[in-house]
């Protein structure tokens, strides 16, 4: 027998660029796909979720105020960090999802490529979704895409890495701040990506990741009045209907589950973008 005990890591929440334990003091065990112990994870409370929303609101204006080029560089830096820790990510995906090492490495490669894809879109979204509109008069008329603000994300339960990356970094790419509820069953890949953002020049609060019991946290996320949009692609159709109704009181923009699977497309980028119209007179 070994004369020492392994130091088991407890994965914390990510709120405002820090890694607090839940204010409730709770944690829960996460098991691998085979049922073996994998990690202890903080069991976030509704108070933790509300704290994350406050942090996201404070960070969003700064994130949107940065140049599109700078936001792209920050996202690309995250891809670099993920590349340097790809083996650790692959181990967690393999254990969590019960796939082979080769399949988990492919999943990690896809996730890193997606982050690079989002990094490349930061300075192009204005040209694609915006434009100059013809008007009958001595005016210029411009349509400019602007972020919705703070977006709540209910992450997929089974797609622990690629699904998380697509759901979280699409709204961040276009200037939103995000509060994400990670997969209850497979939270560790999301927790690892959250850790990497703190060494990737992300302003504190742009990405907040809360782990815990989905049924306990999701209604608070959906009904919170300071959340401008909610991504329910990680929920079942029935659960999404209930949560969409909970968000109706605060007139949230809602992205519903995609029956065809994860969506990695311009539609995903457009989901939490508003259009601002600007008029300007033509000088003589």
Question: What is the signed CA dihedral for 12, 171, 265, 89, rounded to 10 degrees?
Answer: -20
Q: Element (H or E) spanning 104, and its range?
A: helix 101-121
The C-alpha atoms of residue 83 and residue 149 are separated, in whole angstroms, by 29
Specify the pLDDT at position 7: 78
Q: State pLDDT tens for residues 52-62.
A: 999 999 999 99
Q: Which residues pair with 42 in a beta bridge?
A: 27
Closest CA to 207 of 183, 232, 228, 176: 176
Average pLDDT over residues 156-181: 95
Specify the pLDDT at position 231: 94
Specify the pLDDT at position 27: 94
pLDDT at 284 over 70: no
| Confidence band of 249 (pLDDT split at 50, 70, 90) | confident
Q: State pLDDT tens for residues 157-169.
A: 989 999 999 999 9
The C-alpha atoms of residue 110 and residue 70 are separated, in whole angstroms, by 23
CB 254 within 8 A of CB 120: no
What is the 8-class DSSP label of residue 18?
B
pLDDT at 261 over 60: no
CB 235 within 8 A of CB 137: no
Entry pTM: 0.91
Which domains does the chain show, CATH number per domain? Answer: 10-281 (3.40.605.10)
């Amino acid at each position: 027998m070994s004369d020492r005990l392994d130091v088991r890591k407890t994965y914390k929440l990510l709120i405002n660029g820090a890694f607090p334990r839940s204010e409730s003091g709770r944690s829960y065990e996460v098991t691998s796909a085979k049922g073996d112990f994998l990690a202890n994870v903080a069991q976030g409370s509704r108070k933790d979720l509300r704290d994350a929303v406050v942090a996201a609101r404070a960070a969003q204006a700064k994130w949107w105020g940065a140049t599109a080029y700078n936001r792209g560089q920050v996202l690309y830096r995250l891809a670099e960090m993920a590349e340097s820790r790809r083996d650790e990510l692959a181990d967690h995906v393999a254990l969590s999802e019960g796939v082979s090492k080769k399949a988990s490495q492919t999943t990690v490669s896809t996730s890193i490529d997606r982050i690079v894809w989002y990094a490349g879109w930061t300075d192009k979204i204005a040209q694609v979704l915006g434009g100059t509109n013809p008007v009958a008069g001595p005016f210029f008329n411009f349509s400019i895409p602007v972020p919705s603000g703070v977006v709540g994300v209910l992450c997929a339960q089974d797609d622990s890495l690629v699904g998380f990356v697509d759901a979280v970094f699409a709204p961040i790419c276009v200037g939103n701040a995000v509060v994400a509820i990670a997969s209850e069953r497979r939270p560790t890949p999301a927790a690892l990506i959250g850790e990497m953002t703190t060494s990737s020049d992300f302003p504190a609060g742009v990405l907040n990741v809360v782990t815990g019991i989905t049924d306990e946290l999701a209604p608070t996320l959906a009904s919170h009045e300071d959340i401008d949009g909610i991504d329910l692609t990680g929920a079942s159709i029935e659960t999404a209907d209930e949560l969409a109704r909970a968000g109706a009181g605060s007139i949230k923009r809602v992205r519903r589950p995609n029956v065809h699977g994860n969506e990695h497309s311009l539609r995903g980028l457009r989901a939490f973008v508003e259009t601002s119209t600007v008029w300007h007179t033509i000088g003589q």
